[in-house]
Homo-oligomer: A and B are copies of this chain.
Amino acid sequence: MNKPGILDNVRIVLSHTSHPGNIGAAARAMKTMGLTSLYLVNPKRFPNNQADVMSAGAQDVLENAVVCSSLDEALQGTALAVAITARSRDLSHAAVTSRQAAPQIMEHALAHKVALVFGTEMSGLTNEEVNKCQMLASIPSDQEFSSLNLAAAVQVMAYELRMALPDTGLAEPKIRDFAALEDIERFYQHLEQVLVEIEFLDPQEPKRLMQRFRRLFSRTRLEREEVNILRGVLAAVQKS
């Protein structure tokens, strides 16, 4: 697959952005690195003149932006969602640097849609939003002044992806048939249901165990056939 093809599979998702100028600046940052797919979850103001001005010629990215009413909607059809966050979080996610994340993201983007999810200017992503992602990436920064401008963070991540484009020559990266996130969600629902039926789930704390399972399977990046197998096992348990 050619390079533009890979980058076309990368979706930049901006959640609840306050300043339209940042949306425009993010569009420009994306386009300089060859990214064009922009999703906006409940932007405060969009479309907006300030966004157009700051895009500085990346008007097409703004015009083709998809405005969504929820993060779920913005993640539809993706096989990997990466939360970009400055704060270190006490969550059960694989946390990597922007640089470590890039090749993994590009591996997915070879044949699947992937999303990079950015939170608001003031407070970043909510825990609920982070939980919908399978990977957590942080841009290394000064501990006492760690808050990058939103568009600057988009610029750094887009830059890292471009730098991670597969070079011609070396071993062809193997294309893996990753499962769609909505199918993985259906698997979790099915799993929870079966765990209740076999009375394994602690009714006092059902969420906690499910969180452990999410963590386990998020690390492994389930493939489509694997989800089918796992659901087959669950169905067999229900019939037995």
Contact = CB atoms under 8 A, between A and B. Distances in A.
A99 B163 contact: yes
Contact of A140 (B143, B149, B163, B240): B163
A22 to B, nearest CB: 11
A162 B142 CA distance: 9
A127 interface: no
Contacts of A220: 216-217, 219-220
Contact of A156 (B155, B197, B199): B155
Given A140-B159, A149-B151, A152-B155, 12 more contacts: A33-B141, A34-B142, A56-B147, A57-B145, A58-B145, A138-B171, A140-B170, A152-B152, A155-B156, A159-B159, A200-B232, A212-B226
Contacts of A106: none
A132 interface: no
Interface stretch (A24-32, A38-46, A65-73, A181-189): A24-32
A111 interface: no
A74 interface: no
Contacts of A95: 171, 174
Interface in A183-227: 195, 197-200, 209, 212-213, 216-217, 219-222, 225-226
A162 B140 contact: yes
8 contacts: A34-B141, A34-B142, A95-B171, A140-B163, A152-B155, A212-B229, A216-B220, A216-B226
Nearest to A195: B233
Contacts of A25: 149, 152
B88 A171 contact: yes
A237 interface: yes
